[in-house]
Structure 1
Amino acid sequence: MKTSSSWLQSLEGKHVFITGGSSGIGLAIAKEALSQGAFVTLVARSSTKLEKAEQILVKNGATKHNILFKVADVGMYETLAKAIKESFEWRAVDVLVCNAGTAKTALLDEGRIEDLHAIIQTNLTGVVNTLHVGIPLMKERTPQTPMSIVLMNSRSGMYPLYANSMYCATKYALKGLGETLKLELMPYNIRITTVFPGYVETPMLDYCGLEDKKDILEIFKIINLYDRSKAETAENVAKYTLEATKNGTFLVTNQFSGLVLSSLSRGPMPADSFGRAFIELILYIPIRIFTFFTAPYMYSVIEHKNQKK
């Protein structure tokens, strides 16, 4: 088994498979991977959006030689399985990126049941479908070949996102899935990288519908520190995601808020370095004490805003 501190060395000549690749973080990862000499398969459910993505990538130097496009909904097992198998036939996948995701802001009992089911279907079932097909194909490769699976999570996989309970539930589930897969796939030289970005300026922020729900938005801004003007770019997320993947890093966060949440939420899995473990240990007790003051404040905000309705 490979033990080098640099897991994949580089992406030159590697094959990166990406779901939800027609826009946002998925498309940004595709651009970055191609710039580093990788071959890329992009999967998305909308052929129209995938065609637009193709135009963007072709302008950035992509050709039929180094990129493959597949139309498939991650929630539809049969069509997704066909796309994944055809991608593996094109060339063996080295990095499998489960990125497809969706969100819809609403209190659980006020949201449409169709929207809640769609979130589960994309964010959780879609990942399970992708892994169920992809992992056996990755296992067929020699055990000496280092490979990676990337689970694109969210800060809401470590911290409750007000009025997004089902989105949070799927992201918390992905955290547990990643921790279990880390153990299951260790004998096959397949590493798991779980990425927890904060707010990212992508179309998903529009899908959330926050700007159209003024009453919820007021609470959301306070409790979840939401400021769209400070959202990070998809390109930035793509860069640190691929660097972490090459290094074989398990839990990936950025910014101070990410460090705080990883200190509280890492669970039984050790940090990837002694330095990171030491910092998280130092932060843990002060943060836990701090929550005794922040939690009552959050409750009062919610109560006050709801009394004004």
Structure 2
Amino acid sequence: MKIRSPWLQSLEGKHVLITGGSSGIGLAIAKEALSQGAFVTLVARSSTKLEKAEQNLVKDGATKHKILTKVADVGVYETLAKAIKEAFEWRAVDVLVCNAGAAKTALLDEGRIEDLHAIIRTNLTGVVNTLHVGIPLLKQRSAQTLMSIVLMNSRSGMYALYGNSVYTATKHALKGLGETLKLELMPYNIRISMVFPGFVDTPMLNYSGLEDDKDILQMIKDISFYSRSRIETPEHVAKYTLEETKKGTFLITSQFGGLVLSIFSRGPMPAESFGRALIELILCIPFRLFSFVVACYVYYVIQHRYNKKC
């Protein structure tokens, strides 16, 4: 039986550019990539956080000449374009990671409109800006080498996250963007990988206000089974992100919940391997039947808490 060859044999000598790279998952991806011999560029809004991130990477064993930092807001096209082009001039980019993200927990009609616009600006517009600049630069070398684009999504891109409607909407949009890009970039040696982690212990999770509103928090615990004891670490997400990206995996999930949601939301895009496709086919019917039970439970929880509140 022939074993499928990985898309990228190794990250040794490759250049990985990461937006939102000064903390959380982005910084963890940078650290993991450096440990595998890659060069990295970190793009973020805060020069102070970027400087601290670089110091932490060097402290953990990375060599400074393999790290480039660029101050840019993904929502501001002009400054972002300048930063990305300068990174490509430093070293040709092999893996472009769109990781910058924002979240703010609140019911849609109760949240500040400024916060909702900021989420769209970072999570969707920021990714579009990054790709609009980066893809033409990647295409220039696509005939000579294999490259990857990584879209850091969320399980909210496959299932609604209560109290985070606009965040959920941006992640669903990002999934559609990735599916379309997979087709648009098919003639080139550029693979798309979308990552759907669950709750991750990052600064964004803490700043999102997820645990500030007790009513919303309880709903998220009941509906999405949120628990501080079960959240993923950035290091764990970074490892499986890079390993699956090297394999050329399109839809990357972790844990059992990710498998379930991927079966429901994969759409017409087939799994990369026959084995995975067979597993999804076998589990599709029982999972779909079980979804009726889940739906009844979710509707009961929402109505019960609403009645109790009233």
TM-score tier by shorter-chain length is over 0.9
Instruction: Give the 5 Å matches for 1:61-210.
Output: 61-210=61-210
Cα drift, residue 62 of structure 1 = 2.8
SS in 2 for 1:188: coil
Matched with 2:297 is 297
Question: Which aligned runs of 4 or more in structure 1 are off by greater than 6 angstroms?
Answer: none
Question: Bigger CA drift: 298-307 or 75-84?
Answer: 298-307
Offset, 1:142:
4.3
The letter of the residue matching 2:248 is: G
Q: What fraction of aligned residue pairs are identical, expressed as a percent?
A: 80
8 Å Cα contact 2:197/2:254 also seen in 1: yes
Matches within 5 A, 1:10-29: 10-29=10-29
Name the counterpart of 1:260. Answer: 260
Measure, in 1, the Cα distance between the counterparts of 2:272 and 2:26.
25
1:132 is displaced (CA, Å) by: 0.1
Determine the C-alpha separation between the residues in 2 that align with 1:295 and 1:123.
Answer: 28
TM normalised by structure 1 equals 0.97
Q: Where do residues 55-66 of structure 1 align in structure 2 (5 Å cutoff)? A: 55-66=55-66
How far does the alpha carbon of each residue in 1:237-272 deviate from its partner, in whole angstroms, 9 at most, with x for none? 100100111111100011111111111110111101
Which residue of 2 is the match for residue 31 of structure 1? 31
| Aligned positions, number | 307
> Which SS does the other structure have where 1:6 is aligned?
coil
Structure 1 residues 247-302: Cα deviation after superposition (integer angstroms, max 9, x where no partner):
11100011111111111110111101111111111111111111212212211111
Distance 1:54 1:165 in 2: 34
Structure 1 residue 61: deviation in Å? 2.6
Residue aligned with 1:41, SS: strand
User: Which amino acid in 2 is paired with 1:197?
Assistant: P
Tell me: CA distance 1:182–1:142, structure 2 relative to 1, closer, same or farther (3 Å): closer
The TM-score normalised by the length of structure 2 is: 0.97
| Alpha-carbon distance between aligned partners in 2 of 1:38 and 1:278, rounded to the nearest angstrom | 35
In structure 2, stretches of 5+ residues that fail to align are none
Deviation, structure 1 residue 63: 3.3
2:273 and 2:180 mapped to 1: Cα distance?
20
The alignment partner of 2:211 has SS state of helix
Letter in structure 2 aligned against 1:34: L
- Residue matched to 1:46: 46
Q: Distance in 1 between matches of 2:36 and 2:294?
A: 43
User: Mind listing any 5+ residue stretches in structure 1 that lack a counterpart?
Assistant: none
* CA drift at 1:121: 0.2
1:211 is paired with a residue whose SS is coil
CA RMSD across the alignment: 1.2
Contact 2:35 2:62 in 1 (8 A): no
Q: CA deviation at 1:40?
A: 0.3
SS in 1 for 2:65: coil
> Does 196-205 or 12-21 show the bigger shift?
196-205
SS at match of 1:209: coil
Instruction: Show CA shifts across 1:107-156 (max 9, x none).
Output: 11111100000000000000000000000001111413100000000111
> AA paired with 1:229?
S
Counterparts of 1:132 and 1:236, CA distance in 2: 29
SS of 2:187's equivalent in the other structure is helix
Deviation at 1:5, TM superposition (A): 1.9
Query: Which residue identity lines up with residue 22 of structure 2 in the other structure?
Result: S
- Equivalent-residue separation in structure 2 for 1:274 and 1:61 (angstroms): 40
Deviation per residue, 1:45-89 (Å, 9 max, x gap): 011111111110110233342110001000000000000000000
Counterpart amino acid of residue 80 in structure 2: L
* Aligned CA distance change for structure 1 residues 47 and 153 (closer, same or farther; 3 Å): same
Cα distance in 2, alignment partners of residues 32 and 71 from structure 1: 21
Q: Which amino acid aligns with 1:252?
A: I
Deviation at 1:184, TM superposition (A): 0.7
Q: 2-side partners of 1:6 and 1:252: how far apart?
A: 15
